[in-house]
Amino acid sequence: MAYVINLQFQTLRFSSLLNSLNSHKQLPYLSPNPKSVKRIISVPDFVTFRPRKHQISLKVHAAVTETDQSQPKWWEKNAGPNMIDIHSTQEFLGALSQAGDKLVIVEFYGTWCASCRALFPKLCRTAEEHPEILFLKVNFDENKPMCKNLNVKVLPYFHFYRGADGQLESFSCSLAKFQKIKDAIQMHNTARCGIGPPKGVGDLNLEAAMTSKEKPT
């Protein structure tokens, strides 16, 4: 930091100083010859410190984080080709029919459901570990009539289907109880040969849940 220092000095003629001292007999050996001496500088009366005012400019850089709209929402992410989003009753029935004798696990979820979101990453890892199983994701809000007919009352909810056996099991599950899904997979994901056409949803009639656009003409 820079300061401006103003110094004011008073000068005394050495001759007058010597005369004063000699009058008191303090310096008898000094000669008051003004030509042989020079001026001396006395102690300054005062020193004034006047700090220079600095103008400090601070530049604030506001970092604005923009949400990348191209990134999918958590429920839009899929683990692979064996995880499919279902948007209608017709898509649901078609996926069960085309699965043949594969084990099919259906997850009913809500985009607003915190338990569904917490469980979803682990479900994706399970789908990656079992490429032989077909995972169907059903958005509850997009398929309320179908979910009502399938007796889905809590979320997340799971249905297990397999070929001619139709619906094998259904239960609600959370992240803390994910072992239920693993146990059901171990029980139902066994090698077998199905006899007869796939039953799909079994005795449930989903035609009432189909919209007018989905119904065959």
Task: State how beta strands 134-139 and 83-86 pair.
Answer: parallel
Nearest one of 198, 114, 212, 214 to 162, comparing CA atoms: 198
Out of 116, 124, 147, 193, the active site residue is: 116
Cα dihedral 162/164/166/169 (nearest 10)? -50
Active-site annotation holds for 113: yes
Going by C-alpha positions, the residue among 162, 79, 81 that lies closest to residue 126 is: 79
Active site residue 116: yes
Among 135, 139, 122, 131, residue whose Cα is nearest residue 161: 135
- Which residues are registered as beta bridge partners of 105? 135, 160
Q: Which residues are catalytic?
A: 113, 116
